[in-house]
Amino acid sequence: MSTQQDREACQQVVDKVFQVLIDGSKQGYIGENISQLAHSLQAAAQAQEAHADSETVLAALLHDIGQFATGAEHKQMLCDAETLANPDGSSEAGKSGQKLSVGVSGHERIGAEYLRRLGFSEKIASLVEAHVAVKRYLTGKDSKYYDGLSNASKLSLKYQGGPFNQQQIEEFEKDPLYELKIKVRRWDDNAKIVGWDVPGLEAYRPMAIDHLVEQRQRTTTAS
């Protein structure tokens, strides 16, 4: 594939991802008057303000992407990602004719898998996927964090395995991305401010396209 074709393919991926954010945002609100999209944009804006690198900014923007589709749409979302990233059927799954297994559950895992299949970096996918683990970590580490959670979030924590114990906390702190994962979670927690005017989705388009192009080039060079 030529560089130009690569770029066009990446533009299409970004079109699709942004459309998922826009469409999903019309359906539901996470509370008061903050739409899912506004929430994502506020998380990304905080990452930008903190001078985070572009992968972290994109992770903040896309951290809830798995929540933008309903359960029934998740399988389609992952299939769409596979087709979009590998239009010629050249993926491993495509080559072997395997049926895609959608053995992922939880919006953070769906979102991470969706982004991986679209060609976003492992760092972005890991930051997105860490959502629940960080909540378990922070509630285990800091009781004040637990007290600040909404009732729904406290309830879901039970089903997510509850707060991390000391051993799990120490294990989590060995993760080289653990500090970044916590930052993304904090930006997420603070991204619920009514009336906070932040840059729109289009502000992130060049960054997302550049990232995907870079990832493709890296994969091509490595193979």
Residue 188, interface with Fe ion (CB under 5 A)?
Answer: yes
Closest approach of Cβ 54 to Fe ion, in Å?
19
Question: Under rule CB under 5 A, how many of the chain's residues touch Fe ion?
Answer: 2
Comparison of 55 and 188: residue with beta carbon closer to Fe ion: 188
Site for Fe ion in 48-67 (CB under 5 A): 64
Full 3-state SS string of the chain: CCHHHHHHHHHHHHHHHHHHHHHHHHHCECCCCCEHHHHHHHHHHHHHHCCCCHHHHHHHHHCCHHHCCCHHHHHHHHHHHHHHHCCCCCCHHHHHCCCCCCCCCCHHHHHHHHHHHHCCCHHHHHHHHCHHHHHHHHHHHCHHHHHCCCHHHHHHHHHCCCCCCHHHHHHHCCCCCHHHHHHHHHHHHCCCCCCCCCCCHHHHHHHHHHHHHHHHHHHHHHC
Q: Which CB, 64 or 129, lies closer to Fe ion?
A: 64
Nearer to Fe ion, 55 or 64 (CB): 64
Q: Which C-beta is closer to Fe ion: that of 139 or that of 215?
A: 139
Stretch that binds Fe ion, among 166-174, 186-194, 196-204, 215-223 (CB under 5 A): 186-194
Residues that bind Fe ion (CB under 5 A): 64, 188
